Amino acid sequence: MRVGRAAGVTDTGRRRLRNEDAFVCEPPFFAVADGMGGARAGEIAARLAASALEERAALARDEEGVVELIVEANRRIWERALADPSTAGMGTTLTAALVDGEQGQIAVGHVGDSRAYRLRDGALEQLTTDHSLVAELVQSGVLTPEEAERHPQRSAITRALGTEPTVEVESFTVEGKVGDLYLLCSDGLSTMLGNDDVVAAIEEGRGDPAAAAEALVVAANARGGEDNITVVLFELEEGEPEVATDVEPAAPAVAVTRSEPALTTDLPQSNASETGGDVSRHGAGPGGRAAAIALLVTILVLGVLVLYWGISR
């Protein structure tokens, strides 16, 4: 089997001014990162992770290789934070998947609460377990899954890339099946939509990963869009795995970002592997143009009011 169509979309959402998510959609390798940290540090952490993975993805062959990629991403984020005090404490979640078409397997590496799902025969299954406070409370029986969905600390994660010099990566391998559809997403999607909502949005795309990805983002925004929303979808189909060449694959991935391109002035300019040249592919970037326009309009209105008050006196 091989990877068929694939697509990635990232969106700032309706409540955030910036997009601190990033993704990689380079068949047969896929990943989603959700950055955290003050100022632009979360955005930087997610982009560093995406760049590190994309740069070395061709070297990974199996589950162990995926883990090595994530460990390398952790190292780069940690060292950047040490070198730049303004980014101290930054980190990112990361969920990555590598398809081995010859073996019919998908290797997954996972840190944080970004998720991997599999849609098979109409049933959606969450493959990853969140590294979060509420997930641990559910596993220990303190909370029910329903209580966890409403818990005020549901976004508190217990593991992230870049916050420590080493990281514990959870990894596993699952057997693939022709017709499977895999979904990687940030919690901006999973906290807005339940499983039935996700399946409904994918079905709205009528089997097209690009259309399904757009439908998922629209649905999450319709529910409030409280966080950045990032979605990567890929399908498995019958056929020989693609051989790595310098030409475009037969079924190219679709990558879309719906936020302004990220400024590169506060990213390290001397190391192209860390900055990443393709912002649309990684999906990181500010989403604050609307806020800036609103602020400008407010200032103009206040100026007019002050002028009118002065004239009236």
Contact 209, 7 (CB under 8 A): yes
Instruction: Give this prediction's pTM.
Output: 0.78
Q: Is 137 exposed, middle or buried (0-12, 13-18, 19+ CB in 10 A)?
A: middle
CATH 3.60.40.10: does it fit domain 2-287? yes
Average pLDDT of every residue of the chain = 81
Query: Which of the two residues, 58 and 133, has the higher pLDDT score?
Result: 58
Q: Which of 20-24, 30-34, 115-119, 149-153 has the lowest mean pLDDT?
A: 149-153
Among residues 225, 202, 185, the alpha carbon closest in space to that of 9 is found at 185
Residue 52 host element (H or E)? helix 41-56
Q: How many residues does the chain have?
A: 313
Contact 94, 111 (CB under 8 A): yes
Query: Which of the two residues, 1 and 255, has the higher pLDDT score?
Result: 1
Q: One-letter amino acid identity for 161?
A: L
Mean pLDDT over 179-199 rounds to: 96
Cα Dmax for the chain: 82
| Domains in the chain: boundaries | 2-287
Q: Quote the DSSP letter at residue 10.
A: E
pLDDT at 276 over 60: no
